[in-house]
Structure 1
């Protein structure tokens, strides 16, 4: 218990986490198996013939990588074999009560995506850099939201209100940036708006002990209605002054932005995306290597024990929920300052709920939640790319794709998963 003393220094490993290895769970093998069967049907039974070309370089890259042609039928056979082997391996791990490594899920997902792209892009050229750039852009707000969700739930508060924090941040950033003519002022306004929304969540769930899920849903509905009303009554009639569409320009990092494939994706982005890189690193390091992170995780796992050694549970929860709101507010700013510019009614389109799914899929870990958000962003952008190359995949399916991936990922591929022990449970000091 002494490791939680107020003046103690945190160890380098996540002491507050409890491993889950003793319960046999077949969720992951079933999820892998479902995708493997779908691959057999799509790539084997209903296979296409021809060649799909993958363009790996853009015109401005230092090195012009060649376009890679893949035979659709041959690629499908290889993909089915790899997915079947992965499924068998995951079933073996489940039978022995062992957790599925992250790299297995990552390899399985990448192979499945390559096979699907080859099948849907038969006879066409798929611009890989453009696909990845768009995917990162759509993932950025999800990553901010998932980081806020990880912090909030790790400290013991379920953050259903990410959607409301997104909307508040988007609205405030667009209006304040238009009034001042400065995107930086809009960015600060988004942070403040996210914090204000999180104050409401924290006050009702921590101080007044209201059910956290209900509070989050009510906040989302309230912010959606409020921003929609202000948009129609205030912003829309005064677009020239209150909704100009000010945004950050992309800032290319010299040299790095010319690297094939990864250069345009990671190093030719707006300031908000670069802040996202910093946020992911800061939350990961802070959560697992600092005294702040140790206290946060202790409060989310066992608030009674944390209280016993002198940690103020109520204050720790309140201020970390506020920090989570600030980070989610940055995600809201991306919708305006980093993307389209002007604010539009309900422009977040449920992204906050997908960010919450990324938290669960990522097992409440900042890095894994970021990877999950990238997966969902990739699925969202895939519909744009496949539509542009006139893929035979029905447009209705492409619109459903991000949500299908979300449902399967959370329900099937997570496997055995346990959130912080005290998450969602109010703490009453005895």
Structure 2
């Protein structure tokens, strides 16, 4: 009954969702395209025993990349279907996989759209990355006898409290999942308390530790440093949100007093903010270069605006110190493992509930430093600029955490193997 009421409300608010899409398209034109896909209207093609992987946006797509590549190697006879919800996620899928996967936007969680999508794609399993759970997608997929696996699953205390408030709809949804493969024991326990069946919950660790680094990255990053000036101190404010750019610029002003040739690389999380962040940098009086314009970056340039997509690791590799955004404001923080894997000291604000266990493990090892304000951020960056040995020690500590936690991907793949085998057995019995 609860899900029917939810579906009715979803139908009623759909016009407002479309108006929001229109508003977002005003800021980011990519949102204006491919609306019909969101209602499962798209040209279909024959797919062979497809595995459907859903990753909502850029972060989940990057995290899913090693999984998708492993599935392609493990099941070369199967098609991989990848869905996202955002244009930036879509761009990442296309950049990473091209035509080797079938990619469309995920259907809105309306019964008609979900059933239409299932009829067209006919998946043999659905793998949902992290926390992107939708009641109708889970219900109709599971009702079709298709295993639904929540992979690399995490549930923060904040989200768990939200699930408790809507337990009447969350519990049936969680119980319809074939497997919840949680990142850690705390996440697993929160899923159980929210209503998941104990037997369906397993712990694999986080597959975010299992990403690989392009062997050519070091050379490319070094080439950038040579263009900028090898000896100048460089720090990066990565994946920043509104409310973090100005503090980063204020920090840089303080740093320039002691290191006049210091360079800040600022990487806004959302492409629609590139223009406004550039204006912010310019109005603050900084000589600012744009990556997209291939501006000359001599030592007089104080800020580089990284207004391109897919180059974050390149910029991490070219910097000395990394501040990871989404953490000075209550957005939950972004992935600290990428700079950590590059042996960089990592700094984050206090709001890291999206990566809580990972951040605290990095912090306990000495590889991540928390700050609660722009003043403390300036102090920490300055300490790393001042002491190269300290900077290297903290970077090595961060890297050691990444190396020690690899292996979650193989454990997740084993769970997927099991569910696919069970599906084939059930399917074979139905045919007899």
TM range (shorter): under 0.3
Identify the structure with bigger relative contact order (alpha carbons < 8 Å, sequence gap 6+).
1
Select the structure that is richer in helix.
1
Task: Normalising by structure 2, report the TM-score.
Answer: 0.22
Task: Normalising by structure 1, report the TM-score.
Answer: 0.22
